[in-house]
Amino acid sequence: MSPGEGPAPRLRMSLVALVSVALFASLFARLYDLQVVGSHTYSVQAEANRVRTVQLPAPRGRILDRTGKVMVDNRVAIVVGIDRSTLDELPKSRQDAVIDRVAVELTAAGKPISPDQIRLRLVDVRYSRYAPVPLASDVPEAVKIFFDERAAQFPGVVVERTALRTYPFGPLAGQLLGYVGKINETELAAEKGQKAKPYALNDEIGKTGVEEAYEKYLRGTPGLRRIEVDARGNPVRIISERPPRAGDDIVLSLNANLQALAEQKVAQGLLDARNRVNKDGSRNAAPIGAAVVLDPNNGQVLAMASYPGYDPKLFADGVTPAEQAYLNNPANHFPQNNWAMQGQWAAGSTFKLFVGYAALMAGVMGPDTVFADRGGYQIPGCTGAKCFRSNAGGNAYGNVTISRALTVSSDAYFYNVGAQFWLQQDRFGGPEGMQKYLRTFGLGAKTKIALPGEQAGRVPTPNWKLDYGARTHSDDKWRTGDNVNMAVGQGDDLVTPLQLANGYATFANGGTRWVPYVAIRAQAYATKKVTKTFVPKVAGKVNLPPQVRQPLLDGLAGVPRSGTAAGAFAGFPLDQFPVAGKTGTAQVQGKADTAVFTAFGPLPAPRYEVAVFLQESGFGATAAAPVARALFEGLSGISPLAPVGPDGKPRAPGVAALTGTGGGGYD
């Protein structure tokens, strides 16, 4: 064997060949994986790298009243924006010149904006890179013409038409309808799982009222535009486009004409209260008022007035800092608040219906039990000046039953009821014997109406006072006087106008407590096809045996005929349209009384329940009852409901009155 020959070189050559084969095999395997096995995945990724998808905003659904009147609509508005990709292709000096010139033209057109503000928007991550950055909305048509005719001078400037919310009846029902605004990061995170109608930053979303409560129906389905981009991410061409689809219309239970009347009469009632001179020469502040009209047979809200009001158009056009400051200034009494469901006041003597029910059900009093009203009540076991509670005006009503006590509003009768519930709690249900009956009417809890922001009111208890006293370092002991105060709707009890109306509606219909609701259905804009029907929901039942309900009803029916509201209802045809109700005057330390009145009719099968609150306006019979009477005149047809005008106020009378029972009519 010659030198150099042997097994070692051959072995080395074999190893090199083996490694080479392995390397080529691995390379071919990877090529197979890329080109065959993973071809679909990588083609999708490649497609994603060169294609961008942009959402196209969809018009929101409209909001209509029960008769078909459009209360919230969309109108076409002109929006000026800048396409960043086009602007970025220009030299820096040219970009600055375009931005400066656009700022000058928009400011001159009444849409003030500075060059620095434009530059901040152009780098704002909230705006999609593949859609124009909006600079000014709702600009005049002349501005569009100006930019269109000078397109070469303004490269990148885009002028488009879009939809903005409009309100055919101005501020009518502003708090109830609500408004829309740009979605914030918190709202966007909450809607992240939304697939059918996905949101993007800078989209519009309902912020309050019906706009917020029924957002899922009102919001349209966004369109999609697929854009091809180059390696630098700049748009090249539009590949495809799916047009947006409008949201569903929401049909409300409200009657716009009745709503206008309610708002007008609440404002007038407050104005009258401010102009009325009290016995001591003072005048009432009368800053806030509210009225609610319900259908007691199903819980539909027919009207919900709140004063002061605001025009939601402010938000459609873009609220200014000055306007925002006005709306949030406590001195202006928060016009955005829906005081009909957010305002909380003592109920005054309207509470006596619920306390009377408790007295009869617990056996504290019987339907025919006679109580000697001598003008006031001495709290048993109590000494001192505050232990004697007088009737309003010191009037003595003599021997009264529960029916008569309601009609004339005998405080002494109900003071006694409250005292006996506490002093004989072993017989009448314990320390909360009275409260448990009050709660059955929904007092002290939200009605669960779909609208956001509702307050719960309060039914005070010994435990509540104990906790409150500990938190405020005040008296925490519940005494007989606390029960006495609560029995006439004074002290620490609180109700909202909606809550009070719903409690009386429960009594009016015989014991079914409905969840109040404002939307009847959702329907497609073009076809009117119903996509969702909102049905009445029962929140609870109140046991109202005839021997309990009838004496209470008799007492309430006497209020407008011969009782505390007889003056307010003088001349009203109670024989043709019988009404039962109750006045209330809630005392507030250091302020004028809050006037309250609530009633239902026509008897014996009520179709309407009305509740009115006028803060710091005086006696319920003087201030609130006339407002309710005016509403019943419209509801009954005595003074036919006038059509609402574009300012949200009733026009000249002459339109047919509301009709229908139960869930129908009100046209």
CA angle (277 as vertex; 272, 283 as ends), nearest 5: 80
| Tokens, residue 37 | 């096995």
Annotate 225-246 with b (16+ C-beta within 10 A) or e (fewer).
bbbebeeeeebeeeeeeeebeb
Name 385's Cβ contacts closer than 8 Å, sequence gap at least 6: none
User: What's the length of the chain?
Assistant: 667
Tell the residue number behind the tokens 């109202």, with chain if given. Answer: 544
**What residue ranges of the chain have pLDDT lower than 70?**
1-9, 11, 15, 17-19, 22, 24-25, 27-49, 54, 126, 128-130, 229, 231-235, 317-318, 652-667
Exposure of 291 in the CB half-sphere (CA atoms within 13 A): 34
Q: Is residue 7 part of a domain?
A: no
pLDDT at position 36 is 58
CA angle 28, 32, 34 (to 5 degrees): 115
Domain boundary among 134, 162, 190: 162
Measured CA to CA, the distance from residue 178 to residue 304 in angstroms comes to 13
Structure tokens at 30: 């990877």
Task: Read off the CATH number of the domain in which 550 is found.
Answer: 3.40.710.10
- Is 662 among the domain residues? no
Q: Where are the alpha helices (DSSP H) in 153-228?
A: 174-177, 185-190, 209-213, 215-218
Query: What pLDDT does residue 662 have?
Result: 31
For residues 611 and 464, membership in a common domain is answered with: yes
pLDDT at 62: 97
Strands 180-182 and 204-206: antiparallel
Domain annotation covers residue 472: yes
Which class for 492: exposed (0-12), middle (13-18), buried (19 or more C-beta within 10 A)?
middle
Quote the pLDDT of residue 181: 86
CA 591 to CA 515: how far, in whole Å?
33
| DSSP-assigned beta bridge partners for residue 74 | 165
pLDDT (tens digit, 9 = 90+) per residue, 155-195? Answer: 999 998 888 899 999 999 999 999 998 888 888 888 877 77
Range of the domain at 597: 256-636
Token reading at 457: 């009111």
Which of 162, 178, 204 finishes a domain? 162
535 and 415 in one domain? yes
Residue 326, class by beta-carbon neighbours within 10 Å (0-12 exposed, 13-18 middle, 19+ buried)? middle
Q: Is residue 69 part of a domain?
A: no
> Does 598 lie in the same domain as 452?
yes
Q: How many other CB atoms are there within 10 angstroms of residue 141's CB atom?
A: 8
CB atoms under 10 Å from CB of 315, counted, come to 22
User: For residue 233, what pLDDT is reported?
Assistant: 62
User: Is 487 part of any domain?
Assistant: yes
pLDDT at 666: 39
Predicted pLDDT at 39: 53
Identify the domain boundary among 162, 197, 229.
Answer: 162
Domain count of the chain? 2
pLDDT at 533: 97
User: Do the bridges between strand 63-64 and strand 249-252 make them parallel or antiparallel, or are there none, so unpaired?
Assistant: parallel
In a domain? residue 175: no
The 3 state secondary structure assigned to 562-624 is HCCCCCCCCCCCCCCCCCEEEEEEEEECCEEEEEEEEEEECCCCCCEEEEEEECCCCCHHHHH
| pLDDT tens digits along 103-152 | 999 999 999 999 999 999 888 876 766 678 888 888 899 999 999 889 89
380 contact partners, CB below 8 Å, separation of at least 6 = 419, 423, 480
Domain co-membership, 133 together with 267: no
Residue 378, domain member (yes or no): yes
128/273 same-domain check: no
Residues 6+ positions from 658 with CB-CB distance below 8 Å: 255, 258, 302, 634, 635, 637, 641, 665, 666, 667
For residues 263 and 131, state if they share a domain: no
Tell me whether residue 322 is in a domain. Answer: yes
Q: What pLDDT, on a 0 to 100 scale, did the predictor assign at position 63?
A: 97
CA dihedral 404, 408, 414, 415 (to 10 degrees): -140
The residue type of 597 is F
Only one residue has tokens 């502003």, namely: 174
What distance, in Å, lies between the first and last C-alpha atoms of the chain? Answer: 120
For residue 104, what is the domain's CATH number?
3.30.70.2110
Indicate the SS3 state at residue 250.
Answer: strand
Following CA atoms 156, 161, 167, 170 in sequence, which dihedral angle do they give, to the nearest 10 degrees?
Answer: 60
Q: Is residue 540 classed as helix, strand or coil in its secondary structure?
A: strand
Residue 443 DSSP SS3: coil
Taking phi over 0 as left and psi of -120 to 50 as alpha, with beta for the rest, 68 belongs to: left
Pairwise CA distance, residues 247 & 245, whole Å:
7
